[in-house]
Amino acid sequence: MILITGGRGAVATNLSSLLRADGYAVRIGSQRPEQLPTGVPAVACDLRDPATFAAALDGVTSVFLYAEPECSTEFVSAATKAGVDHIVLLSSSAVLDPAAVTNPVAKSHLDAELGLADAPMTVSVLRPGAFASNARGWSFAIKADRPVSLPYPNAYTDPIHERDVAECAHALLTKPDHRGGVYTLTGPQTLTFTAQIELVTEVIGRTATIAHVTPDAWKQEMAEFIPARYADGLLDYWRRCDGVPTPITDTVTTLTSHPARAFTTWLEDHAPEFSA
């Protein structure tokens, strides 16, 4: 039995479909299992509530674990007691930043990794960079024919399709070859936000423009959606990536035997989200 935590997320949803299509027994853990689609084998699993761990892990041998460091020690203890022999942790390449310990976005993932450092079972770590799905945050402005506010339009990211991340997790969970490794995942290109916005216009067929705003103005605009300390973390990261291309890896190919999907593929897959 494979437990997939963070069950309502895009990576978990894709991973569940891949595993079930291959005939694996899967259990989906979520804070709100009642919100999962009918027919999905779901269980309450709140990674901040150790009281939910034992039932979620009962009979489980492998876990896809969302990075939540708060109760990682308790989770490892419960997983050990349940007989889990392999955990695939969804972390982030943000942990590689020299300033990771002071950046709240990166530190939560770093702490999650450290929480598994002495775990008795095999631990594999996936460190994706920027998800292509972050572009979804621009859709509201684009649908309203408003410019997208960007404080660092020339900052580079490495947008990766969530399905590629799921397929990498699938490979680690179902094949022994690469288990126990730490893998940095990127999309096939490093692109500035400006270049990504241009691709939105090209692929979606709807004009997308940029408003170059100050970091403080962006933070204020996002205050309803992003807590201040996480907004500061993102701004700090983008500042360091301004004009600096992100190194690209071929890890997706190594794990899945196919190259990472292009950002344009993600846009094509999600084009309706950018239409009014």
Tell me the CATH number at 239: 3.40.50.720
Residues 105 and 206 in one domain: no
pLDDT tens figures, 57-92: 999 999 999 988 889 999 999 999 999 999 999 999
Residues 44 and 104 in one domain: yes
Instruction: Let me know: does 56 contact 43? Beta carbons within 8 Å.
Output: yes
Q: How far is CA 229 from the centre of its chain?
A: 19
| Structural domain includes residue 22 | yes
Residues 65 and 79 in one domain: yes
| Structural domain includes residue 66 | yes
Residues 135 and 266 in one domain: yes
Residues 263 and 145 in one domain: yes
| Structural domain includes residue 191 | yes
The CA distance from 231 to 104, in Å, is: 9
Q: Cα dist. 216→60, 164, 196, 210, 220 in Å?
A: 46, 34, 23, 16, 6
What's the structural domain count of the chain? Answer: 2
Burial track 45-73 (b if 16+ CB lie within 10 A, e otherwise):
bbbeeeebbeebbeebbbbbbbbbbebbe
Residues 155 and 204 in one domain: yes
| Structural domain includes residue 135 | yes
Residue-level pLDDT at 35: 82
64 closest CA partner among 49, 47, 52: 47
Instruction: Let me know: does 159 contact 165? Beta carbons within 8 Å.
Output: no
State yes or no: pLDDT of 39 exceeds 90: no
Geometric angle at alpha carbon 108, from 105 and 111, rounded to 5°: 145
The residue ranking higher by pLDDT, 17 or 34, is 17
Which class for 224: exposed (0-12), middle (13-18), buried (19 or more C-beta within 10 A)? exposed
| Structural domain includes residue 169 | no
Residue-level pLDDT at 96: 92
Please state the rounded mean pLDDT for residues 26-39.
Answer: 86
DSSP run (H or E) holding 143: helix 139-143
| Structural domain includes residue 96 | yes
Provide DSSP, 71-95.
GHHHHHHHHHHHT--EEEEE--GGG
Residues 229 and 100 in one domain: no
Residues 148 and 262 in one domain: yes
Residues 153 and 30 in one domain: no
The residue from 105, 128, 151 where one domain ends is 128
Residue-level pLDDT at 260: 98
The residue from 128, 150, 171 where one domain ends is 128
| Structural domain includes residue 224 | yes
State yes or no: pLDDT of 201 exceeds 90: yes
What tokens were used for 102?
A: 């002071």
| Structural domain includes residue 264 | yes
Domain of 211?
130-160+186-246+257-276
Residue-level pLDDT at 256: 97
Residues 45 and 64 in one domain: yes
Query: How sure is the predictor about 34, in pLDDT bands with cuts at 50, 70 and 90?
Result: confident
Residue-level pLDDT at 276: 66
Residues 135 and 63 in one domain: no
Instruction: Let me know: does 7 contact 29? Beta carbons within 8 Å.
Output: yes
Residues 112 and 150 in one domain: no
The residue from 78, 112, 128 where one domain ends is 128
Which class for 216: exposed (0-12), middle (13-18), buried (19 or more C-beta within 10 A)? exposed
> What are the residues whose beta carbons fall under 8 Å from the beta carbon of 28, sequence distance 6 or more?
3, 4, 7, 12, 16, 36, 40, 41, 42, 43
Bridge-based pairing state of the strands 182-185 and 86-90? unpaired
